[in-house]
Amino acid sequence: MTGLTAGRAALALLSAALLLAGCASQPIQHKDPRDPWERMNRAVWGFDIDFVHKVALPVGHVYTRVTPQFAQVGIGNFFDNAQYPIVIVNDFLQAKFKTGLGDTGRFLVNSTVGIAGFLDPASNVGLAKNDNDFGRTLGTWGVHPGPYLVLPFLGMSDVRDFVARVPDGYLSPQNYINDIWIYLGVYALYVLDLDARTLIPQYNLLESQHPFDEYAFARNAYLQHREFLIHGQSTQSEEQQEEELEKSLEDSGGDASSKQ
């Protein structure tokens, strides 16, 4: 374990302790039993949305405008491939041995023939891209998700998924870069890619639904999606899972709109 990685793990656990300690001082009446810390969560949600409006979306749009499409695709492929050890390890921890072997093959093909993952030849030979994480592993093992939790900058989560970020972090290759400036450069590019490929589409989808209560709408969509990933059809590819999430968002949006 490197000092840099150990420090990040300690910081994550300290943050969890501070968040949980802060919740105890804010008793409120709850309408949703999954969200006992709603007052705190709504405050953090407001901060996150403000940050998205003022910083994340403008920066993401600039990135997509100035970066050629082929470069965006290559950068996205590279980071997807770099994070794939997380997928593979959690496949096997969940006893998905056939999927784990396929994901291992995908990682090896893209890391070699795909030039460190910038290209995606594995998809062309039928090795589908999947997604997995330790939060799902804990859920598969029967660990309760605990209260819903909104994290500064990181967005929606629950206690189980928040704690699971620590072991997943040990499987993320960029966390083992010892040169701080190289690490910061790689991480900045990772955030830009995440902003362009994930945050902007999700936020646009949220806006398009015109929910009566954006916070409750996003909370329900997140919790439903995580429940589906753990207890739904585990053989679905990432693309199929995204379609299910979009359908869930649209259904929740319709329910919310009908209450206005």
* 222: exposed, middle or buried (Cβ count in 10 Å: 0-12, 13-18, 19+): buried
Q: pLDDT exceeding 90 applies to what percent of the chain? A: 70
Residue with tokens 């701080």: 180
Do 44 and 72 share a structural domain?
A: no
**Domain end: 83, 111, 132, which one?**
132
**Domain end: 105, 132, 159, which one?**
132
Express each pLDDT in 202-254 by its tens digit. Answer: 888 888 877 788 999 999 999 999 999 998 854 445 555 455 555 555 554 44
Q: How many helices (H) and strands (E) does the chain have?
A: 13, 2
Lowest-confidence range among 66-80, 103-117, 152-166, 208-222?
A: 208-222
- The total domain count for the chain is 2
Do 39 and 28 share a structural domain?
A: yes
CA distance 248 to 260: 19
Say yes or no to pLDDT of 70 above 70.
yes
Domain, as residue range, for 82: 67-132
Do 233 and 187 share a structural domain?
A: yes
Tell me, what's the pLDDT at 12? 43
Tell me, what's the pLDDT at 1? 41
Confidence category of residue 54, pLDDT binned at 50, 70, 90: very high
**Domain end: 111, 132, 153, which one?**
132
Tell me, what's the pLDDT at 26? 43
Asked if 22 and 183 touch (Cβ cutoff 8 Å), the reply is no
Do 145 and 34 share a structural domain?
A: yes
DSSP 17-52: HHHHHHHTT-----S-TT-TTHHHHHHHHHHHHHHI
The one-letter code for the residue type at 150 is V
Do 197 and 147 share a structural domain?
A: yes
Q: Tell me the average pLDDT across 74-84.
A: 97
Lowest-confidence range among 23-37, 132-146, 160-174?
A: 23-37
The reported pTM is 0.77
Do 159 and 111 share a structural domain?
A: no
Express each pLDDT in 18-34 by its tens digit. Answer: 444 444 434 444 478 99
